[in-house]
Structures are given as structure tokens and as C-alpha cells.
């Protein structure tokens, strides 16, 4: 009995070991297959890798402000003309003697608008912007590569209101929206906002301290460009369709319908962005009117103004990266625009941020401290951009502008009175500067006179939003050319790694588990049979040994033809 129990216990232990080995092999197989699958999916053509290197290393125009460069010198570089080109006679040159002496430091939204719609610049000269003349700005090894045509932007059409809007419909002629390199304004179907006071429209309603989200430059949609100029109202002129997520009315994010995707809140810091990003993804999942997976989403993030004003500190780069990671996982087609602290300045003193003296934290800080603080935001935003480059996704990109510079001849007129917040004019200027920056790229001049500047139609050479992926090289494919030879353009239209659908992820996961289970089961059967054979051999050996032992015992026992009992009985009788 003891021998049987012992044998049963041994076999039980062997069975447990076998199950453990099976599970261990199963999980190891899954890990190896997942790693192999990821290695295949992340491998990309050399052109994509080269493109990644191409897009890194830009020194933003913000550096000109922080490093106190001569604006006149850089103005000639950025707005330089082609050889032998002369300015058109209708270009208006600013007459400094005609400027109003507006010196109020309180800020006053009642000051008359600067713009004179009858005296506008002719923006055709922007075609003169030449990469080869920007070496002093970007550095010889860091300037954009790949643009052999030698220019960055050619602006042939401008507008100021609905009446003058005549931008061509790009989508009718070109292949657009297949990757981040060819997003046109007509492709944007969803707009969302994250961040701080600037995105909430705080204080824009006269005499109030509530959020006027319908007038915010980033997501407001209460009127057309004839009323409040916002990014959504401009995009609406291109597509002439309802854009999902646009904000309307007054109130906090919780007081307005969840279909409005402005999740910004007053006094938000960079550490709060992951929570806002999570909420945005949750709201996007509730949308049923459009196919959110295949619709391009523009997310404008404004962050840093409140943080700098209240705490005089740089960004929480880890939190920014976490927020972008959340958006990357939750949005298939996304153009993320991340704007840093507002830098309101005069054209004649770019480095001086007029917001500094309005913030309790920074009013007593010296210039060197403010320069280090600005550099901290530039470096923090660069970390986030590096993270996005690591995604290598063809349908997700980030345009980061760490210092959101708004330049005016009368900069104090852009503030709400006795406040650090921008008034309606300030929001109009923010929308104009950001829009023109989106359609021209880094060539857009930070010293531009926004009051006399128009809104630009997309560049005739690159009729798409200018993002890092097409700064240096832009490929515009006409539909007629694509239809003639689609194979020729497939590689340029579909670059990088696109995000997989849930069904594809489930299918791949199921295949991995099935293959792993098959491999492990096969190996386990082989090992089990081998183990069984070894046990059988051992048992056979033990049986042979037992038989030999029994035979030896029998040879030592006396035997005269009687049984052992008879032998013992006869012995006892002899003794008696």
C-alpha cells in the first residue's frame, strides 16, 4: 500500500511539473510571436526612416525671440525676394508716423481694430522664400532637405471675409487625406480642444468671468468668418459641411453638450492633460453621426500660459507625452497642434513678452530667468515631438509651437482689461497667425503685421497643412495622374505605419494564441511521450531488479521438495 501511495504521489508531482512546463512554453511562445510580429509591423522602408531624420532638428522661429536676434535682419531673410524680382506697386509699406500712440498697459477691448481692408499687402512675394537663404536660421545641417525646387511657400490667394473667400477646392483635383503629408482643410471633419484658459474663451463675453467657448479661436463656431474668426469657422468655408466637435455658447465643458469636444478648463497645467485626453477619447466613442475612425480629427492643445503665470515653471514633459500617447491610441487619423505659452509682443521688441508684467509669478523675474523658462518649454515640446516621430504612423502627427507668438503694433490692445487673458481681438489674431502658419509652414514670419495681413489660401505648391513630414518635401498628386498609374504613387501616398483596426488586432491576437497553442501542444505531446517512455524503461528496470532479488532469496532457502512450513515443522518435532 505504501509503495502504491508513493508511486501515485510521484506521478502527481510529475503531472504538475508537466502542466507548469506546458504553461511556461505557451507564454514564452506568445511573447516570441508578439515580438516577431511587432518587428515585422514596425519595419519600414528606408525612405520612411530617412524622412524621420529629415524632420528632426528644426530650430523654431521662437528661438529668434528667446535668443534676442535682430528682427530686421531675420525679416529680410524670411521675406527675401528672388533675384531680379521687384515688389508689386500695390504693396503697402507701413508708415510708422501714421501709427496711433496706444500705450495703455491695462488692455482695452474697445480700442478700434488696426486692420484697414483697403490697404493690404500683396502676398505673392512669399514665393521668394528660399530655403538656401535660411541657413542662418536653421543651420546648414538642420534646415529642411529634399525640396529641390528651392522654395517653401507660394501664396497666390488670400481672403478676409466670406465675400473675398476664393480658395480653390483642393480635394477636387488632388489626392488628399491618405497620410499626414497631404491633409487638406477639406479633410478635417472633427475638431477638438484641450488645455487652459486660452482654449476655453474665458472672459470673452464682456464683463463676465465665464467661458465663451463659442468664440474661442481654437474651437469656436458661433458665427462665420464675417463675425468671429476662429479655426473652425475658416475650415467651414473650405468644406461647407458641419464639423463635429465645434463649440457653441457659454459655459463649462460639463454644462455644454458632450458632442462639443472642447475639454479645456480654466487654470489647467500640463499635468492635467492626460485626464482631458482620456475624456476626449471617451466622447469620440459616443459619436455616431460620422465614421470617426476614417475621419481626420484636428486637436488643438493650448498649454503653458496659466502654468507660467502661476508657477513660473516649465512643462511636465512626462504628462505631455502621456497625453499624446492616449490620443495616439484612441484616434486613428489625427493632426495634433500643441501651442505653448502665449507670447504677446511688439514688432519692435520681439523678445519682450508683455504678459510677464501681468503675472504675479514673473513680474519680478529677470530676463535671464525668463529666457531659461522659455527654453524649458521649447525642450519639453521637443521631447513630445521626438515621441511622435517614434510612432512612425502615417495617420498621426504633431505640430508643436512651444512659444505661441502674437505680434502687434499695439500689443496691449489684445488683452482683456487688467487681465492676463486675450480679448476678442487677441483671439482673432491668434486664429490668423495659427491659420497662416498651418498653410505656409516655418516660413511664416513672426514679425508679420497681423492687422494688415490677410488669411492665406493653401500654398499652390503644397496645398496641404504644413506639418513636419512635408516641411522639406511636399508631394501633391493630381487625381488624373493617379488614375493613369496608381502603382507609381502608392508608395508616396501611403507612408509609415497606419494604426490597425480593432478587428485586425483581435484577428492577429487570435492567430498568435492559436499558433502558440499548436506549437506548445505539439512540443508537450512529444515531451510527454518521451517522458512516458523513460518512465516505462525505469519501471521495467525496477521490475527486472525485483525479479532477480526474489530469485536470489529463493536460492538461499533450503528446499528438499517440501514446503518451507513442512521443513520448519519437522525441525520442531526433532527438538521435542
Tell whether 386 and 518 lie within a shared domain. no
Residue 267 has pLDDT above 50, yes or no: yes
Tell whether 241 and 282 lie within a shared domain. yes
Query: Is position 495 within any domain?
Result: no
The answer to whether the beta carbons of residues 440 and 155 sit under 8 Å apart is yes
- The boundaries of the domain holding residue 526 are 2-43+504-575
Tell whether 135 and 246 lie within a shared domain. yes
- Please give the average per-residue pLDDT across 60-74, as a whole number: 48
What is the residue-averaged pLDDT of the chain? 74
CA distance 390 to 398: 12
User: pLDDT per residue over 283-321, tens digit each?
Assistant: 999 999 899 999 999 999 999 998 998 899 999 999 999
Tell whether 309 and 231 lie within a shared domain. yes
Tell whether 443 and 559 lie within a shared domain. no
Query: Is position 113 within any domain?
Result: no
What cell was used for 523? 512540443
Tell whether 281 and 137 lie within a shared domain. yes
Query: Is position 238 within any domain?
Result: yes
Query: Is position 493 within any domain?
Result: no
**Axis-axis angle for helices 317-330, 273-286 (nearest 10):** 10
Query: Is position 283 within any domain?
Result: yes
Q: From the CA atom positions of the chain, what is the Rg in Å? A: 36
User: pLDDT per residue over 505-563, tens digit each?
Assistant: 667 777 778 777 787 778 777 777 777 777 777 777 766 666 666 666 655 555 555 55
- Please give the average per-residue pLDDT across 119-127, as a whole number: 35
Tell whether 328 and 238 lie within a shared domain. yes
Query: Is position 114 within any domain?
Result: no
Closest among 34, 189, 50 to 473, alpha carbons compared: 50
Tell whether 446 and 361 lie within a shared domain. yes
Tell whether 450 and 533 lie within a shared domain. no
pTM here? 0.68
Query: Is position 497 within any domain?
Result: no
Tell whether 30 and 66 lie within a shared domain. no
- Residue 49, classed as helix, strand or coil, is helix
Boundary-marking domain end, from 458, 477, 496? 477
Number of domains in the chain: 2
Query: Is position 529 within any domain?
Result: yes
Closest among 398, 377, 376, 270 to 328, alpha carbons compared: 398
pLDDT band at residue 564 under the 50/70/90 scheme: low
Tell whether 458 and 525 lie within a shared domain. no
Tell whether 313 and 384 lie within a shared domain. yes
Residues 6+ apart with CB under 8 A from 307: 196, 269, 270, 313, 315, 341
CA distance 378 to 52: 19
pLDDT band at residue 472 under the 50/70/90 scheme: confident
User: pLDDT per residue over 402-427, tens digit each?
Assistant: 988 888 888 888 888 888 888 999 99
Amino acid at each position: 500500500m505504501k509503495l502504491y501511495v508513493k508511486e501515485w504521489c510521484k506521478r502527481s508531482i510529475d503531472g504538475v511539473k508537466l502542466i507548469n512546463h506546458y504553461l511556461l512554453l505557451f507564454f514564452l511562445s506568445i511573447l516570441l510571436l508578439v515580438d516577431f510580429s511587432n518587428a515585422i509591423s514596425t519595419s519600414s522602408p528606408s525612405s520612411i526612416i530617412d524622412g524621420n531624420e529629415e524632420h528632426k532638428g528644426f530650430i523654431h522661429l521662437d528661438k529668434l525671440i528667446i535668443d534676442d536676434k535682430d528682427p530686421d535682419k531675420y525679416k529680410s531673410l524670411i521675406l527675401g525676394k528672388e533675384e531680379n524680382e521687384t515688389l508689386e506697386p500695390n504693396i503697402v509699406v507701413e508708415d510708422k508716423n501714421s501709427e496711433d500712440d496706444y500705450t495703455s498697459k491695462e488692455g482695452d477691448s474697445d480700442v478700434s481694430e488696426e486692420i484697414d481692408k483697403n490697404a493690404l499687402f500683396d502676398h505673392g512675394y512669399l514665393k521668394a522664400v528660399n530655403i538656401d537663404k535660411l541657413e542662418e536660421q536653421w543651420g546648414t545641417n538642420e534646415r529642411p532637405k529634399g525640396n529641390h525646387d528651392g522654395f517653401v511657400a507660394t501664396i497666390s490667394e488670400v481672403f478676409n471675409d466670406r465675400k473675398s473667400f476664393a480658395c480653390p477646392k483642393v480635394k477636387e483635383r488632388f489626392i488628399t487625406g491618405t497620410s499626414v503629408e497631404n491633409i487638406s482643410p477639406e479633410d478635417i471633419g472633427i475638431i477638438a480642444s484641450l488645455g487652459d484658459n486660452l482654449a476655453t474663451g474665458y472672459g470673452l463675453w464682456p464683463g463676465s468671468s465665464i467661458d465663451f467657448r463659442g468664440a474661442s479661436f481654437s474651437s469656436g463656431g458661433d458665427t462665420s468668418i464675417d463675425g468671429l474668426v476662429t479655426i473652425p469657422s475658416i475650415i467651414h468655408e473650405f468644406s461647407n459641411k458641419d464639423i463635429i466637435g465645434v463649440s457653441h455658447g457659454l459655459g463649462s465643458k460639463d454644462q455644454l453638450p458632450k458632442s462639443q469636444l472642447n475639454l479645456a478648463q480654466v487654470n489647467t497645467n500640463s499635468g492635467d492633460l492626460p485626464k482631458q485626453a482620456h475624456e476626449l477619447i471617451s466622447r469620440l466613442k459616443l459619436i455616431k453621426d460620422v465614421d470617426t475612425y476614417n475621419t481626420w480629427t484636428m486637436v488643438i492643445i493650448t498649454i503653458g500660459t496659466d502654468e507660467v503665470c502661476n508657477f513660473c515653471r516649465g512643462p511636465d514633459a512626462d504628462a505631455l507625452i502621456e497625453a499624446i500617447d492616449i490620443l495616439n491610441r484612441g484616434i486613428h487619423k489625427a493632426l495634433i497642434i500643441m501651442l505653448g505659452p502665449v507670447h504677446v509682443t511688439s514688432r519692435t521688441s520681439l523678445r519682450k513678452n508683455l504678459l510677464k508684467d501681468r503675472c504675479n509669478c514673473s513680474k519680478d523675474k529677470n530676463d535671464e530667468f525668463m529666457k531659461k523658462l522659455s527654453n524649458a518649454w521649447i525642450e519639453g515640446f521637443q521631447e513630445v515631438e521626438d515621441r511622435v516621430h517614434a510612432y512612425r504612423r502615417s495617420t498621426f502627427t504633431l505640430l508643436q509651437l512651444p512659444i505661441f507668438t502674437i505680434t502687434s503694433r499695439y500689443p496691449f490692445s489684445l488683452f482683456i482689461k487688467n487681465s492676463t487673458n486675450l480679448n476678442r481681438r487677441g483671439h482673432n489674431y491668434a486664429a490668423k497667425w495659427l491659420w497662416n502658419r498651418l498653410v505656409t509652414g516655418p516660413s511664416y514670419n513672426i514679425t508679420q503685421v497681423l492687422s494688415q495681413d490677410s488669411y492665406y489660401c493653401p500654398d499652390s505648391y503644397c496645398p496641404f497643412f504644413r506639418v513636419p513630414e512635408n516641411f522639406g518635401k511636399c508631394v501633391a498628386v493630381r487625381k488624373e495622374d493617379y488614375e493613369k498609374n496608381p502603382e507609381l504613387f502608392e508608395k508616396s501616398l501611403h507612408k509609415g505605419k497606419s494604426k490597425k483596426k480593432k478587428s485586425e488586432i483581435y484577428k492577429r491576437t487570435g492567430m498568435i494564441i492559436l499558433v502558440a497553442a499548436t506549437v506548445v501542444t505539439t512540443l508537450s505531446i512529444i515531451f510527454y511521450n518521451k517522458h512516458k517512455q523513460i518512465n516505462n524503461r525505469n519501471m521495467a528496470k525496477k521490475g527486472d531488479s525485483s525479479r532477480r532479488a526474489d530469485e536470489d532469496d529463493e536460492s538461499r532457502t533450503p528446499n528438499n521438495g517440501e514446503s518451507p512450513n513442512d521443513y520448519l515443522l519437522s525441525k520442531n518435532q526433532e527438538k521435542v
